Structure 1
Amino acid sequence: MSLQFSVLASGSTGNAIYIETKEHSFLVDAGLSGKQMEKLFSEINRDIQNLSGIFVTHEHSDHIKGLGVLARKYRLPIYANKKTWKAMDSLIGEIDTEQKFTFETGTVKSFGSLDIESFGVSHDAAEPMFFVFHYEGKKLALITDTGYVSNRMKGVIHNADIFIFESNHDVEMLRMGRYPWNVKRRILSDVGHVSNEDAAIAMADVIGDKTKRIYLAHLSQDNNMKDLARMSVQQTLANKGFITGEQFDLYDTDPKTPTPLVAV
């Protein structure tokens, strides 16, 4: 059995990604309530109590809302870097020491044949990081919650089989929308979120001959739409010579409905 995954939920209201191999299964973030997380797991026919652990990208509530509840109820190990642990300590409630593990940015943790590589991103959190999962020659790259995609980040995620890639907002929708200016400025900044167009520009630099699927993730419910994100990304990629549906396919993610569990 190869690497399998499902984007359980993705968006400004909550984020969680499930990943499994024959030997292990992990969750990246738990940004919905414990009850909602259990429902999402049932929808992909999986059991939370079989998880090997939870990796945390950063301390914002849409990534850790259900973390403490799940960790206590199912006695799950949690992996985060030291600054994230410090930032979220008062937000997730008491966690037993034996469940707390440090996973520093820019390092690799191995679980049998699965290697998990962490890398830093640019976001207004203590020390945000995302992950690349390497398993039997396959590569799954996760990158959201970053204001821009640097050459360093591109080097880590380049030529993944699967990308789960932030496509947070349409710039004009954001500029014309209801958010106060200070929030708009934060989203548009280098420590905010990547727009549809900027996401596609970055994708053009990392898509390789192995790339088969790209999932557009962390869409803003107020400043984006699935059809708009897909159209914008497709058009920008086409301008750079990439034709969606030939070398690779684009997929939506949803804040409430998991993507089907598929193999990389």
Structure 2
Amino acid sequence: MGIKFCSLSSGSSGNCQYIETDRMKVLIDGGLSGKKIEGLLSSIDVCPTTIDSILVTHEHIDHVRGVGVLSRRYDIPIYANENTWISMEKTIGEIKGHNIKVIESNKDFELGDLDIHSFEIFHDAAEPIGFCVYHNNTKISIITDTGWVNDSIKRKIKGSSLYLMESNHDVKMLKEGKYPWYLKKRISSTNGHLSNLEAGQTLSEVLSGNGEIVLLAHLSKENNRPAIAYDTVRKYMEYYGMNVHRDIALDLTYRDKATKVYTL
């Protein structure tokens, strides 16, 4: 077996990603209730007792709601940087000492047969990070909850076989929507969330068109629509000479159900 990936849930109501190899079963974030995450794992035939580790990108509730519950219930180690640990401590509750794993941003670490690189992103959290996950010759990049993708991040995620890429909002829908001005400003800032156009632009700079899988993530319920996100990114790809059916596999994540399980 190579490496498997499934987005169990992605959006402001909760985020949780699943990665599996022969030796490891890992969650990235756990932003739903423990019961909901257990149900989503069950939907892809994974028992929560087999989860080896939880990696946390940042402390916002839609990324850590169920992290403490799962750790206590199944004795699972949690990996997060120091500032994230400090910021999420009250939210996730008491964690056994041996399950508190402090990592450093922009550093590599190993989990079983996975090599993991964390990198800083731009979001209004204590020390938010994304992850590049390597297994043999395969690379998966997780980049959500960032308002900007700079050249350093592009270099780090380039060459991935699968990208989980934030495509949070449609610019027009956000501008004309019912959110108060301060919230619109936050979302569209460099410490907020990527728009569909920004997702397309970033992808056009990192994709090679060699069959990479792209999953658009963290779509806003209020300020986006799946069809709009998909079509905006598709048009951007086509403008740069890539066919989303021939050269890349473009798909969407969901707020309330798992994607299919991708085997790489």
Shorter-chain TM-score category?
Answer: over 0.9
In structure 2, what is the equivalent of residue 206 of structure 1? Answer: 206
**C-alpha distance in structure 1 between counterparts of 2:111 and 2:36, whole Å:** 27
Conserved 8 A contact 1:6-1:262: yes
Residue 129 (structure 1) aligned with residue 129 (structure 2): yes
The 2-side partners of 1:90 and 1:114 are apart by 30
Does 202-211 or 242-251 show the bigger shift? 202-211
Cα pair 2:6 2:19 within 8 Å, conserved: yes
Q: CA deviation at 1:112?
A: 3.4
Indicate conservation of the 8 Å contact 2:24/2:113, yes or no: no
1:209, distance to aligned residue in structure 2 (A): 5.0
In structure 2, what is the Cα distance between the partners aligned to 1:128 and 1:241? 33
- Residue 72 of structure 1 corresponds to 72
Equivalence for 1:180:
180
Question: Which residue matches 1:140?
Answer: 140
1:189 equivalent in structure 2: 189
Work out whether residues 159 and 210 of structure 1, in 8 Å CA contact, stay in contact via their aligned partners in 2.
no
The whole-number CA distance in structure 1 between the counterparts of 2:21 and 2:249 is 23
Distance 1:21 1:91 in 2: 30
The one-letter amino acid of 1:177's match is G
Q: Deviations over 1:172-193 (max 9, x none)?
A: 0001111100000000000000
Gaps spanning 5+ residues in structure 2: where? Answer: none
Residue 62 (1) aligns with residue 76 (2): no
With structure 2 as the length reference, what TM-score do the two structures score?
0.98
Identity of aligned residues (%): 41
What TM-score do the two structures reach when normalised by structure 1? 0.98
The question of 1:41 aligning with 2:41 is answered yes
Query: Does structure 1 conserve the Cα–Cα contact (< 8 Å) formed by 2:210 and 2:248?
Result: no
AA partner of residue 25 (structure 2) = S
- Conserved 8 A contact 2:9-2:257: yes
Q: Which amino acid aligns with 1:232?
A: T
Report the aligned-residue RMSD. 0.9
- Conserved? CA contact 2:2–2:263, under 8 Å: yes
Spell out, residue by residue over 1:158-202, the C-alpha distance to the aligned partner (whole angstroms, 9 max, x if none): 021100100000000001111100000000000000000011000
Task: Report the alpha carbon displacement of residue 111 of structure 1 after superposing the two structures with TM.
Answer: 2.5
Contact in 1 for aligned 2:167/2:219 (Cα 8 Å): yes
Distance in 2, Cα, partners of 1:13 & 1:177: 19
Cα offset for 1:73? 0.6
Q: SS where residue 134 of structure 2 aligns?
A: strand
Q: CA 1:193/1:5 → structure 2, altered by over 3 Å: closer, same or farther?
A: same
Quick one: which amino acid aligns to residue 48 of structure 2? Answer: I
**How many Å separate the matches in 2 of 1:67 and 1:114?**
21
Post-superposition offset of 1:109:
1.1
Q: Distance in 1 between matches of 2:211 and 2:88?
A: 34
Compute the displacement of 1:136 (Å): 1.1
Return the offset for 1:210.
4.4
Deviations 1:69-114 (A, max 9, x none): 1111111000000000000011111111111001111011112331
Distance in 2, Cα, partners of 1:208 & 1:139: 14
8 Å Cα contact 2:14/2:62 also seen in 1: yes
Label 1:110 to 1:83 Cα distance change in 2 as closer, same or farther (>3 A): same
User: Once the 2 structures are TM-superposed, how far is the Cα of residue 218 of structure 1 from its aligned partner?
Assistant: 0.4
SS in 1 for 2:159: coil
1:263 aligns with 2:254: no
Q: Is the 8 A contact 1:160 1:211 kept in 2?
A: no
| 1:235 aligned residue | 235
Correspondence for 1:154: 154
* Count of residues in Structure 1 that have an aligned counterpart in Structure 2: 264
**1:112 and 1:76, CA in 2 relative to 1: closer, same or farther beyond 3 A?**
closer
Q: d(CA) in 2 for partners of 1:138 and 1:39?
A: 28
C-alpha distance in structure 2 between counterparts of 1:125 and 1:196, whole Å:
22
Secondary structure, aligned partner of 1:89: helix
Secondary structure in 2 matching 1:76: coil
Contact 2:51 2:76 in 1 (8 A): yes
* Unmatched runs of 5 consecutive residues or more in structure 1: none
CA distance, structure 1, for counterparts of residue 103 and residue 221 of structure 2: 31
Is 1:51–2:48 an aligned residue pair? no
- Tell me, yes or no, if the aligned pair for 2:209 and 2:248 is still in contact at 8 Å: no
Aligned counterparts of 1:24 and 1:224: Cα–Cα separation in 2: 34
